[in-house]
């Protein structure tokens, strides 16, 4: 506003008056535009970006045009189009700047969010794995020693950079080692059935995809019960993607732990969104005494 006044003023003596006059025209229109946008915010969020941007520009122009018409009626004169056009251009420039700013910050924000989500997985994994090893250390030191070697490999995998896709074969190896360690603690109560179809060797997936789901299956499906329980892992490559199913028995003693299960699945859903946007699908629910998690991922190749 000050720049406009400086460009258009004819003498320094009239500058304060021109600034006040310009403010009287612009500020009410600006306040009106902001009020309208605030009221329309819920609807605007549901619209495509181009439509929302166009509406913002139109609202800015209409608010300025209305203010110009009101001033022309009160003070006399004609309603001009220069001010509404300037308001629309200013709104468009601001929207463009906000969009560029959001695009510049989006990768950094996504990486920070992904790091935070991954960090939530690690403490649970470390705690449960160490408990499994401690459970057999006194009874079978040799077995515990082998488990510690596997545990060190798992820790190394967990501490790597988990912001990039990893081969499915690595995820499967990590999942198998984790279940081997849990089997030390649970013994024959933990049964696992692997149904892994032939998948391309170069297939890559979200890191730490299987282990948190298997940890959930063990903690919520096997550990609360006293009988044997089977976890089923089904992975199949399809024409355009990968289908993954993990299901486990539902124990009557599982109810107190349901909130933890929902938190883990919410964590996974957000990580899927960060890696795949809307291309991935996550569904889960209980049916016929078993809890099932289904994931469909788009096919990604390391080549």
Statement: residue 292 has pLDDT above 80: yes
* pLDDT (0 to 100) of residue 210: 92
* pLDDT (0 to 100) of residue 195: 93
Q: Cα separation of 284 and 260, whole Å?
A: 14
Mean pLDDT along residues 93-103: 78
CATH of domain 116-298: 3.30.565.10
Residue 91 or 81, more confident: 91
C-alpha dist (Å) from residue 227 to 178, 214, 232: 21, 18, 16
Residue 123 or 288, more confident: 288
Statement: residue 8 has pLDDT above 50: no
Mean pLDDT along residues 186-215: 88
Residue 148 or 171, more confident: 171
> What's the pTM?
0.60
* pLDDT (0 to 100) of residue 143: 78
CATH 3.30.565.10 occupies which residues in the chain?
116-298
Residue 5's pLDDT band, with cuts at 50, 70 and 90, is: very low
* pLDDT (0 to 100) of residue 92: 86
Residue 234 or 122, more confident: 234
pLDDT digits (tens, 9 = 90+) for 230-266: 999 999 988 888 999 999 998 766 554 555 567 778 8
Which distant-in-sequence residues (6+ apart) come within 8 Å of 89 by Cβ?
Answer: none
Statement: residue 296 has pLDDT above 90: yes
Statement: residue 14 has pLDDT above 70: no
* pLDDT (0 to 100) of residue 265: 87
């Amino acid at each position: 506003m000050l720049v406009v006044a400086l460009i258009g003023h004819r003498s320094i003596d009239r500058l304060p008056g021109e600034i006040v006059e310009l403010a009287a025209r612009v500020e009410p229109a600006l306040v009106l535009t902001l009020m309208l946008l605030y009221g329309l915010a819920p609807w605007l969020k549901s619209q495509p970006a181009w439509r929302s941007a166009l509406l913002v520009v139109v609202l800015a122009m209409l608010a300025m045009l209305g203010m110009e018409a009101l001033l022309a009626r009160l003070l006399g004169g004609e309603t001009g189009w220069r001010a509404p056009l300037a308001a629309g251009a200013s709104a468009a420039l601001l929207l463009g700047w906000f969009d560029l700013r959001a695009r510049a910050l989006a990768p950094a924000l996504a990486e920070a969010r992904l790091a935070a989500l991954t960090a939530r997985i690690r403490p649970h994994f470390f705690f449960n794995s160490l408990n499994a090893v401690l459970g057999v250390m006194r009874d079978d030191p040799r077995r515990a020693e082998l488990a510690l070697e596997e545990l060190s490999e798992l820790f190394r995998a967990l501490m790597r950079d988990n912001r990039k896709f990893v081969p499915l074969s690595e995820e499967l190896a990590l999942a198998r080692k984790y279940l081997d360690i849990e089997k030390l603690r649970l013994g024959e109560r933990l049964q696992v059935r692997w149904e892994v179809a032939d998948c391309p060797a170069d297939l890559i997936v979200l890191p730490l995809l299987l282990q948190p789901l298997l940890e959930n299956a063990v903690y919520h499906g096997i550990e609360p019960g006293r009988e044997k329980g089977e976890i089923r892992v089904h992975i199949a490559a399809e024409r355009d993607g990968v289908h993954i199913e993990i299901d486990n028995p539902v124990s009557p003693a599982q109810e107190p732990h349901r909130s933890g299960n929902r938190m883990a699945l919410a964590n996974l859903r957000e990580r899927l969104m960060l890696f795949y946007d809307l291309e991935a699908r996550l569904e889960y629910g209980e049916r016929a005494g078993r809890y099932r998690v289904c994931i469909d991922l788009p096919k990604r190749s390391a080549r």
